[in-house]
Amino acid sequence: MRVVRRFLDQESRAPVVERRLRTMELRNDIFIEAPAERVWHALGERFMHIGEWAAPITASCPVGSAEPGVGVMRSCNIAPFGPVKAGVVKERLTRFDRAAMAFEYEALEGMPRFIRHAVSRWSVSRVDDRRSRLRIHATVVLRGPMALLGCVIKWQLQSGGAKVAEELKYFVENGWPHPRKLAVAAPSLPH
Strand order in the sheet with 132-142: 23-32, 132-142, 115-126, 102-109, 87-97, 73-78, 57-63
Query: CA 175 to CA 127: how far, in whole Å?
Result: 20
Query: Hey, what CATH class is 22-178 in?
Result: alpha beta
Nearest to 92 by CA among 77, 107, 78: 107
List the single range of 15-19, 83-87, 113-117 with lowest mean pLDDT.
15-19
pLDDT at 170 over 60: yes
SS3 133: strand
- For the entire predicted model, the pTM comes to 0.84
pLDDT of residue 20: 56
pLDDT at 19 over 70: no
Nearest to 120 by CA among 95, 98, 100: 95
| More reliable by pLDDT, 84 or 190 | 84
Kind of pairing between the strands at 87-97 and 115-126:
unpaired
